Chains A and B, each alone.
Chain A
Amino acid sequence: MTAITATAARARLRTATNLRQWVGLLYVLPAVALVTVFFVIPLGMTAWMSLHNWPLMGEHSFVGLDNYVAILRDTRFWNALKFTFYYTMIVTIAIFAVAFPLAIFIEKPRPLTNLYRTAFFMPAVVGFASASLLWSWLLNVDSGLFSPAAYDLGLTEKKVNLLATFQPAFWSIIAMVVWKVAGFTMIILMTGLQSIPQDLQEAAVIDGAGPFARFRAITLPLMRRTLALALILSVAGSILAFDQFYIILRGGPRNQTLTAVYWIFNQSFVSFKLGYGAALSMVLLVILVALSLVQLWLLRKPEGLD
């Protein structure tokens, strides 16, 4: 009697568990469908295309790993990748150098805080393409703002074409990206700052720690996860940079600002080699995943801390 009841109960329990699992699956189904349609299938398609000679027009043919072998010899792609890393490094440092002080500045309530927050965050809601068009005009030597203004104020002898040589052109882009992105990073960092318990800071003050020591020993370690998030977003975004270089510089001056994505775009839609473009995308994907893993590992939770 008892045995029967127990079995029945177990069976009922199993059905209940089963049912719960099925219901759970039902709940995540929309998300799974979205991921499948918009990520898994395109990714599989890209991988499949990368094994073909796939012109934009005409017949495609299977070529195995030929595209990947060609990538090894494609010096212009590796140069583009080198430039992309250089750009990512500089722009990430620049964004953090601006966003961190801003985050500290707006974290504490003070008069007009909301105004500052909004103002700093505003450029982040502009699309990258629109922002690039705006700056493309600002930087124009004849009809823009910076060069004519500097000339009219007597700062320069003649109108300087900021986009004509590498250094000014590159730093103009950095300035534009920092203007556009720092506000977003600032908000992420601010939430990190706000999650640090006030009593820790107060205890440190009582112990006689100065502001710098508090920043190094309390703020930074407790912001590990926030920093990791902001860093990964910034690095991934920068490695995929395209719009600003395409719209403002066209990869110039003299092809010195061709990024990896720009090169993929050129191969796919200027040279019409979709298969080769797909292979390049796969290579970039692998690099990006590897980089993100390294960052997560570097900023992992230290042992013993929860």
Chain B
Amino acid sequence: MRRNNVKTMLAKLALAAAVIGGGLQAASAETANIWVRADGSNFMPRIVDAFNKAHKDQIKLDIIPNAEIIPKYGAAAAGGTAPDALSLDLIYTPSFAAAGQLEDITDWAKSLPYFASLSPAHVKTGTYKDHIYGLPFSADASVLIWNKKLFKQAGLDPEKGPTNWAEIEADAEKVNALGGDIKGFYFSGNCGGCNIFTFTPLIWASGGDILSEDGSKATLDSPQLRGAIDLYRSMVKKGLVPEGAQTDTGSNFFAAFAGGKIGISPSGAFAIGALNTQYPDIDYGITFLPGKDGGWSSFAGGDNFVVTKGTKKIGVVKQFLDFAYSLEGQTILAKYGSLPVRNDIAKDALKDLDPRYQVAAEAMAKGKTPYSVVFNDLINSANGPWTQMVNEVFFGDDVDGAIKNAQDTMQSIIDQAPNK
């Protein structure tokens, strides 16, 4: 009797389980998991929300701290719990693809009617051995920003930003002369990532480079690099740069200018959105990062969208990327701090936004991105050769030794890289 009871109960349970299971199956909306680094925490939730509202299939978003996303993803991939896709700092795409971690999306990418208008810098870093593993998602270009209020106080034309190195220094000096807490110029002097973003464009705009096109040679010993170093050294020596710059590992990269006491600072397009929403009192101008005698360049940065190898949710992921590339998606991205990545509709997406975005969008379109499978080791690592060099050459005594040391270390890291 009792046993019978148990049996019935089990049967009922099994039935219930089947019903619940079947019910879930019937709804059948798939959910794909996507990760983004904290830099995207402003625009990513907005676009995911918009997508989820308009689609049956859903995206579940996780925001991961910038410094942790790579190790965390590596650990998750090893444990089989990696997200279906992630928005990845574009410079990491080559090394991820080289590790065999990403789904080859060449055919799908080339089938997109607007493939040719996608940000070239992104597509270049998203391509590994002629296969496409990453497509542009968010974009940020480096620019020069200046404080119009301080320019006016210093007797400068507030509507005209510097257009060459001599003007940067002269303007910074004038602003610095206002005295007190006000300083002419700011940069994060102990941050490799910040300086590849904002310092190398000065070199590019003057015709030099720090890496060969394919990333196989370090080319630090150039007159253009020397010239740019001299510009920064001179400003440091004249006291135009706050003391804290020497040890700033990037935490003050944006905050220093936002404080309203800095005349000029190299920065990124993200600053437009951030200043407009968080520091509406600051009146600022945006211009290109100039070369020694004019001309300009920019670092085209941002995220590539990559798909984890072997994911079963690739259909949802494609839907989401399609949505992001629509005019609606591009407009949402632009409004919350990323530049559009589709050049054919960039103008439309930016139409109703702050006109200063147009400068940044142009910088993005013609921007440059270094290519290397060991970018992290060379450039971004807080203890890498590039970070060490920028700190030494801006503030130290032995510029020649620092450049030579960095050149040798970078070349040896490139030469020792697995599957270059």
Contacts and interface: CB of A to CB of B under 8 A. Distances in A.
Given A142-B243, A250-B190, A254-B391, A55 B383 contact: no
Nearest to B76: A57
Nearest to A265: B383
Contact of B71 (A161, A163, A164, A269): A269
B78 interface: yes
B173 interface: no
Interface in B321-350: none
A84 B148 CA distance: 49
A285 B29 CA distance: 52
Nearest to B374: A271
B137 to A, nearest CB: 20
Nearest to B389: A254
A258 interface: yes
Contacts of A56: 70-71, 74-75, 78
Contact of B381 (A59, A158, A160, A266): A266
A258 B243 contact: no
Contact of A161 (B246, B376, B396): B246
A214 interface: no
Interface string A144-170: 000000000000001111011000000
A53 B382 CA distance: 24
B101 interface: yes
Given A55-B418, A272-B74, A251 B383 contact: yes
Given A163-B247, A250-B249, A252-B190, A58 B101 contact: yes
B315 to A, nearest CB: 24
Contacts of A142: 242-244
B382 A164 contact: no
A164 B418 contact: no
A61 to B, nearest CB: 10
A152 B383 CA distance: 34
A279 to B, nearest CB: 15
A66 to B, nearest CB: 12
Contacts of B73: 57
A207 to B, nearest CB: 58
Interface string A253-277: 1110010001000100111100000
B247 A57 contact: no
B377 interface: yes
Contacts of A140: 244
**Which of the listed residues B383, B388, B392 has the most CB atoms from chain A within 10 Å of its own CB?**
B383
Nearest to A163: B247
B247 A271 contact: no
A254 B247 contact: no
B99 interface: yes
A163 B190 CA distance: 11
B381 A270 contact: yes
Nearest to B73: A57
A272 B70 CA distance: 9
A14 to B, nearest CB: 49
Given A55-B99, A58-B101, A270 B395 contact: no
A250 B388 CA distance: 11
A141 interface: yes
A58 B246 CA distance: 38
Contacts of A57: 73-74, 77-78, 96, 99-101
A292 to B, nearest CB: 28
Interface in B93-118: 96, 99-101
Counting from the closest, the 8 A-B pairs by CB-CB distance are A56-B74, A58-B99, A57-B99, A142-B244, A164-B246, A250-B382, A251-B383, A57-B101
Interface of A: 53, 55-59, 140-142, 158-161, 163-164, 250-255, 258, 262, 266, 269-272
19 contacts: A53-B418, A55-B99, A57-B73, A57-B99, A57-B100, A58-B99, A59-B100, A140-B244, A159-B243, A161-B243, A164-B243, A164-B246, A164-B247, A252-B391, A255-B388, A266-B381, A270-B383, A271-B381, A272-B70
